Amino acid sequence: MVVENNFAALPPLLGLVGDLVQETREHAPGEKQELFEYAVAAHTSRFVEGVIESAKASCNGSWPVLEPGWQDVRARAEAFEKGVREEREKRVQELGNPDSEEDFRANLFWIVERGQEDDLKLLQRLKQDPPYTSDEIVQLLDLAMQRIRERTRQRDDSPTAVQRQGEGAYGLHKEEWDRRYAGRYIAIYQGEVIASDTKKIKLMEKIVRKQREEGPFRACVMKIESSAAGSKKPSL
Partner 1 sequence: MEKKPTGKKILFVDDEIRWTTTYVEELQAEGYEVHQVTNVDNALQFFQKNRHYIALLILDLMMPPGSSFTNEETHIGMRTGVCFYDTIRQMAPKLYVIILTNVSDEKVKERFDQERYCTFLRKPETFPYELAEQVRAAVKG
Q: Should residue 106 be labelled a site residue for partner 1 when binding is judged by CB under 8 A?
A: yes
Task: Judge contact between 61 and 80, C-beta under 8 A.
Answer: no
Task: Judge contact between 168 and 212, C-beta under 8 A.
Answer: no
Radius of gyration, alpha carbons of the chain: 25
Q: Should residue 115 be labelled a site residue for partner 1 when binding is judged by CB under 8 A?
A: no
CA distance 116 to 25: 17
Answer for which of 2, 9, 39, 79 binds partner 1 (CB under 8 A) is 79
Q: Should residue 175 be labelled a site residue for partner 1 when binding is judged by CB under 8 A?
A: no
Strand positions, DSSP E, 64-202: 185-189, 192-197
DSSP result, 1-13: ---TT-GGGHHHH
Answer for which of 73, 143, 161, 172 binds partner 1 (CB under 8 A) is 143
Q: Should residue 73 be labelled a site residue for partner 1 when binding is judged by CB under 8 A?
A: no
First to last CA, the chain: 44
Answer for which of 113, 157, 205, 214 binds partner 1 (CB under 8 A) is 113
Q: Should residue 36 be labelled a site residue for partner 1 when binding is judged by CB under 8 A?
A: no
Answer for which of 112, 186, 187, 220 binds partner 1 (CB under 8 A) is 112
- Which residues contact partner 1 (rule: CB under 8 A)? 30, 33-34, 37, 76, 79-80, 83-84, 87, 102, 105-106, 109-110, 112-114, 135-136, 139-140, 143
